[in-house]
Amino acid sequence: MPHNSHKIAVIPGDGIGPEITNVAFEILQHVAKKNSVTYIERVFPFGGNHYLLTGETLSQESIEELKKYDAIFMGAIGSPKIKTGILEKGILLNIRLSLDLYINYRPVKLYPGVDTPIKDKTPSDIDFVVIRENTGGMYSGVGGVSMKGTLDEVAINTKVYNYKQVSRCIRYAFKIAQSRPRKLIALIGKTNILTYVFDLWERVFKEIGEKEFPEIKREYYNVDAACMHIIKSPEKFDVIVTSNTFGDIITEIGAVIQGGIEMAASSNLNPEKTTPSMFAPVSSSALDITAQNKANPIAAIISMKMMLAFLGEHNAADDIEKALQKVTPMNLDRMSTKEIAKAFMNGL
Ligand code: IPM
Ligand code: MN
């Protein structure tokens, strides 16, 4: 096998997941051929349906199996028949934590021709990335409940961060800022109230910035103010670095201003590449439009582009970016999944 053959684990999942994954892989096939990229793929059944059939969310053995791959591509996961939290924790968080995918990289980019609800803003105003810490904070699972169901019930979910988690995330975000022309980074936190956790973030941000990235301009926003600025003046932002929960929330605002959840892509990264990173649209499984040829596959296509770039296949990734620039002005809202896929293939 040629040395550049990438092993890709595919988890199409539920709802529209398989449809949009198919489009992304059709495109992969095309750009791979054109750029002499070789890969092998294996499809895994994990998701809501698999859980209902087998009782498995994602076993330790399956995790070990996934570790043999270079990347994971996921469509969407979710089922209304399953109690909320089971698939989220059993599959998504399990993959993030077991594979130590400590960065959640989410581009917020308005493509040409895509409508943003923010008046008078154009693609040159909306083009930033959110680096969301992906293993800690309120997602650590630290907490508990006592006296459940009584008037004295106590429920605790705690925001937990250690120096290692904070510093590796911040250092990665600075590196991304360094690779972009504006040399600008914003930390989003809540130093006025969460004085322990964000004191740690703020100190590490300053320390790493001063010592290792003196050419990068640093800014700080409290999360509430940031929500306002991102909507009013998205052009203020280039790289945002923030905690797990704040990143979760901010990227939903990001999704709206970049034209909707179907434009929002994400990658869950282990930057050292000691484990496979995972690429997936932010979108939900959208069961209401499943198998009706209605799903917009753009977020899956952007996720595919990010996967190729992360695997070092920059020419193939650039081909996808160029085709995106041609296709997004085409009024995608009126097009079916297959029409979008076809327009895309023609643009490649
Ligand atoms: C996301 C999702 C997940 C998260 C859920 C499904 C666990 O909202 O990827 O943003 O909260 O991280
Ligand atoms: Mn989310």
Asked whether 320 and 305 are in contact (CB, 8 A), the reply is yes
State which CATH number among 3.40.718.10, 3.40.1350.10, 3.30.479.30, 3.30.300.30 fits the domain covering 1-101+273-348. Answer: 3.40.718.10
CA–CA separation, 97 vs 238, rounded Å?
Answer: 27
Which position has the higher pLDDT, 61 or 1? 61
Asked whether 222 and 245 are in contact (CB, 8 A), the reply is no
* Domain covering 115-257, topology: Isopropylmalate Dehydrogenase (3.40.718)
Tell me which residues have their CB closer than 6 angstroms to ligand 1: 88, 92, 248, 282
CA 249 / ligand 2 centre spacing (Å): 6
Domain ranges in the chain are 1-101+273-348, 115-257
CA 1 / ligand 1 centre spacing (Å): 36
**Given this model, what pLDDT does residue 3 score?**
54
Strands, DSSP E only, in 247-305? 265-269, 277-281
pLDDT band (50, 70, 90) for residue 284: confident
**At residue 267, what are phi and psi to the nearest 5 degrees?**
-130, 140
Q: 155-166 pLDDT, tens per residue?
A: 999 999 999 999
Same fold: 1-101+273-348 with 115-257: yes
- What is the best residue among 74, 77, 88, 278 to mutate for testing ligand 1's pocket, by most ligand atoms within 8 Å of CB? 88
Q: 90-135 pLDDT, tens per residue?
A: 999 999 999 999 999 999 999 999 999 999 999 999 999 999 999 9
Question: Strand, coil or helix: what is 83?
Answer: coil
Asked whether 10 and 47 are in contact (CB, 8 A), the reply is no
The secondary structure of 104-148, three-state, reads EEEEEECCCCCCCCCCCCCCCCCEEEEEEECCCEHHHCCEEEECC
